[in-house]
Structures are given as C-alpha cells and as structure tokens.
Amino acid sequence: MGLFDFFKSDENKPSIDLKDFKFLSDDHIRIENGRPVNTSNKGAFRGIRVKTSDNSTFYVTMYNMSENLPVWGDNIQMTEKKMKLVAELHDKIILRGFGTDAMGASFADYGLTLHKSNDNVDKVTLHMHDRNIDIVYVKSENKEQLEMLSQFSDFDNFKNFTHKWNSSMPMIEQIKIAMKSDALNNKGARAYNDKDYQNAIKFFEQALAIMPNNDDALKNLKSCYSGIGNQKKLTEVLKKLDYLS
C-alpha cells in the first residue's frame, strides 16, 4: 500500500464499522470437510475482535471468555491474524489472511466471514483453509459478558500495540506505519501552529489510531488538551507517555 493510500481507503470501507469491532459468542459449531462434528458448545464464550485503522488491513484476534477467563484482552485463544477484505455481499463480509507472522507462518491459512442481518452481525465464521475447517460462532446476548467485552480499554489497546511493536513487528511494517502516522502528526502540528486546535486534535488522534505509541503525536496531543483544559483527556495521554518512558 502506498504512503497516501490511507487517505483514500474510506471509499472502499465495509458496511459494518470494523475500526474496533467486537463480537461475543456463547455457542459454536465446528465443521470439518463440510460436515458438522459437533452441534452445540453452549456456554463456551468466545470474543472475536477485528481492528483496522485504514479499512485496508484488518487484524483479527480471538479470546477465551469462559469460566475463570473473563478478562477481555488477556486470554488469547487465536493470536492476531492480518487480513484484507476480499468480498462484501448483501449478507456477508469476507476477510482473508495475507502475509506471515514473525515465525514465517502464513496468515493466508485463515479467513473470517461476518454474517449480516439487518445491518447487524449475528454470526461469525472462522475459516482454517489449510485444514478445511470452519467454526461458526453464534452471537450471545449475555449481559455480563457483553459488559466484560465493552470494558477493554483504549489503554489496553495501546499497551498491546506497544508490546507488539517492541517484540515482534517486522521493521518494514514499522516503517510503513510510522510514515503514515507521522504524515498525520505533521498536519496536526501545522493546524496547532495556526491555533486551529479542533483540527489539530483530529489529526493527532488519527495519527495515534495508526500508531498508538507515536510519542510525538502524544506530546502534541498533550499540549492541545492542556491548552483547552480537557483534564480527562490530558490524564489519559499522560498515562501513555508515562508508560512509554
């Protein structure tokens, strides 16, 4: 993807907002070679999360949220897979893995289908293409677990990204992310110098959506929130800067 493709990507964004999409399931069916091998796993809570900053690359992770493992974000059942949008029909959005992980394993072995009904996702199918296995996850309405799901905080996302950045992200990917993030940070700096604080904040936040640990954008955002007196937002930014230091 070219440096400025980020600014054009919204033209092809999926009909469901996948910026930080979370799906809770309490039942799933495993299908091998086209045949179901079990018909009910009621009570097996799973959280499926899809994230994107540019509607071009999507990151898919699955969490175990059952029994003594209810803390969204801490109990990863399927590590993050990088995917792209390959098709959208009236009733489904289809993602397919691409690239490799740090160990060289192919993400193309995985895919995800979001099944839509009345503009809502009611089922999610995880595809393991290399093994000809599909797992169909049915939506849960469990209020307690849904609350757990919603509590995964922006700071947790920031910490997870920073850990990935420092431990496993390839340098070429770091460079691409940093270039996109810095381009937006520079736009924010120009707006800030023109005392256009509203647009400055918008650009700094866009920069951080791409690269949450961009310390320059965080410092600039700190100046904005300090200047307009938004203490709550200022505290959130200072917490991240303290973590980085």
Q: 72-84, pLDDT tens digit by residue? A: 445 778 888 999 9
Task: Tell me the H-state helices in the chain.
Answer: 143-150, 154-167, 171-193, 197-210, 215-228, 231-244
**Percentage, residues of the chain above pLDDT 90:** 53
Q: Is the pLDDT of residue 63 over 90?
A: no
| The pLDDT value given to residue 70 | 43
For residues 17 and 35, state if they share a domain.
yes
One-letter identity of residue 236? E
Which among 132, 152, 172 is the end of a domain? Answer: 152
| The pLDDT value given to residue 98 | 95
Parent domain of 80? 5-152
Q: Which residue has the tokens 């307690």?
A: 144
Which among 152, 180, 198 is the end of a domain? Answer: 152
One-letter identity of residue 5? D
Q: What is the pTM of this model?
A: 0.60
Q: Is the pLDDT of residue 71 over 60?
A: no
Mean per-residue pLDDT, 205-215 = 91
Both tokens assigned to 86: 């390959």
Q: How many domains does the chain have?
A: 2
For residues 194 and 104, state if they share a domain.
no
Q: Is the pLDDT of residue 189 over 80?
A: yes
Q: Is the pLDDT of residue 67 over 70?
A: no
Q: Crossing angle, helix 215-228 and helix 171-193, to 10 degrees? A: 30
For residues 50 and 141, state if they share a domain.
yes
CA 86 – CA 94 distance, rounded (Å): 6
Mean per-residue pLDDT, 2-25 = 67
Q: Is the pLDDT of residue 3 over 70?
A: no
Both tokens assigned to 140: 């849960």
Looking at the DSSP assignment, which residues form a beta bridge with residue 227?
Answer: none
For residues 41 and 92, state if they share a domain.
yes
For residues 33 and 74, state if they share a domain.
yes
Looking at the DSSP assignment, which residues form a beta bridge with residue 50?
Answer: 21, 60
Q: Is the pLDDT of residue 48 over 70?
A: yes
| The pLDDT value given to residue 101 | 79
Do 137 and 124 contact (CB within 8 A), yes or no? Answer: yes
Looking at the DSSP assignment, which residues form a beta bridge with residue 127?
Answer: 111, 134
For residues 172 and 191, state if they share a domain.
yes
For residues 68 and 126, state if they share a domain.
yes
For residues 170 and 212, state if they share a domain.
yes
For residues 137 and 212, state if they share a domain.
no
pLDDT category at 160 given cuts 50, 70, 90 is confident
Asked which of 34-38, 136-140, 152-156, 176-180 is least confident by mean pLDDT, the reply is 152-156
One-letter identity of residue 190? R
For residues 139 and 21, state if they share a domain.
yes
Burial class (CB in 10 A: 0-12, 13-18, 19+), 187: middle
Do 233 and 225 contact (CB within 8 A), yes or no? Answer: yes
Q: Is the pLDDT of residue 14 over 60?
A: yes
Mention every residue, 6+ apart, whose C-beta is less than 8 A from residue 182.
207, 214, 216
**Alpha carbon 223 to chain centroid distance?**
27
One-letter identity of residue 74? D
For residues 114 and 32, state if they share a domain.
yes
| The pLDDT value given to residue 145 | 63
| The pLDDT value given to residue 163 | 87
Mean per-residue pLDDT, 176-186 = 94
Which among 103, 134, 152 is the end of a domain? Answer: 152
Q: What is the CATH number of the domain that holds 194?
A: 1.25.40.10
